[in-house]
Amino acid sequence: MSMDTVCKPELVARDYKSDIKPVWCPGCGDYSVLSSITKALAELQLPPEDVAVISGIGCSSRIPAYVDCYGFHGVHGRSLPLATGLKVARPDLTVLVASGDGDGFSIGGNHFMHAARRNVDLTYIVMDNRVYGMTKGQPSPTTEPDWDSALAPGGTGISPFRPLVIALAAGANFIARGFAGDPNGTAKLITEAIRHPGFSFVELLSPCITFRPDQKNWKTQVHDAVVDPTDDMGRAARRLMTDDGFNTGVLFTGERAPYQPPVGQATATVSDLEERFAL
């Protein structure tokens, strides 16, 4: 470090945690995700005031308050448009978006597709536990068809939503999957996702200890994808055809330029605009 610059103390992961105590159940994968996010932010040395975490509604969506950055806990399913408006108006900020599988893929499904297509520079982290936890255990779009619940006794019988497939088809510029049981690996994915321009999507398998105790065996089911990420959509699509939902790692890194209508580059005054109406 140069001696003639004022050295700000380096930020560590702990500096990004707020003093608000999470109410997640002990054993919840989201604790690990929170830790991974703070590790990623520390690795990037982003000033906390230049970061915003935007969420919808659900257990995962509680996360903005637990991070010592700006945040917005919005309404169910609308985290992506909220984040899009913020980023387009304030491209200088780093904007993270946090959702669960219900919030993000059910009510938020439409926004998911369009956010991927629009390719604004956002990092979208979905904590997927294949259940609606906050409302006490209903099937979500990623729930297995044979999972028994009060709302769908015997299982829904409906094929699950495949987030990575949708993300790829819709045009997401970075696609990855991680597992909350590997917080450092997940921190790496999140760091890469933030660094990668455009719409970055990271699905994090994050077990729900209360409504999906069966997910305790996820740690034996996840496996690192043994291939390097590809920038070829066709190749990524073929990989997804044999994806069992437990491959972890970066699937796809695209080259699309992020969508960002320029801001702050005035070429006229308000009076100039008014001239158009003058006779």
Interactions with another protein, residue window 161-190 (CB under 8 A): 180-185, 187-188
Site for another protein in 72-91 (CB under 8 A): 72-75, 77-78, 80-90
Find the part of the chain contacting another protein (CB under 8 A) among 141-149, 158-166, 205-213, 232-240: 205-213
Site for another protein in 229-258 (CB under 8 A): 229, 249-250
The answer to whether 221 contacts another protein (rule: CB under 8 A) is: no
CA distances from 260 to 71, 89, 278 (A): 21, 9, 32
Residue whose pair of structure tokens reads 């996840």 in the numeric block = 222
Strand 199-205, strand 247-253: pairing: unpaired
* Beta bridge pairs of residue 123: 96, 200
Which residue in 3, 6, 25, 60 binds another protein (CB under 8 A)?
Answer: 25
CA 187, 191, 193 angle in degrees (round to 5)?
Answer: 115
End-to-end CA distance of the chain: 63
Give the per-residue contact string, 107-146, with another protein (x = CB under 8 A; - = no).
---xx-xx---x---------------xxxx---------
Which CB, 135 or 145, lies closer to another protein?
135
CA 223, 224, 229 angle in degrees (round to 5)?
Answer: 145
Rounded-to-integer distance, Cα 134 and Cα 118, Å: 30
For the bound state, the minimum distance from the C-beta of residue 274 to another protein, rounded and expressed in Å, comes to: 7
For the bound state, the minimum distance from the C-beta of residue 73 to another protein, rounded and expressed in Å, comes to: 4
Find the part of the chain contacting another protein (CB under 8 A) among 152-160, 164-172, 208-216, 234-242: 208-216
Q: Residues binding another protein: what is the number (CB under 8 A)? A: 98
Rounded-to-integer distance, Cα 170 and Cα 115, Å: 8
For the bound state, the minimum distance from the C-beta of residue 180 to another protein, rounded and expressed in Å, comes to: 7
Helix (H, G, I), strand (E, B) or coil at 250: strand
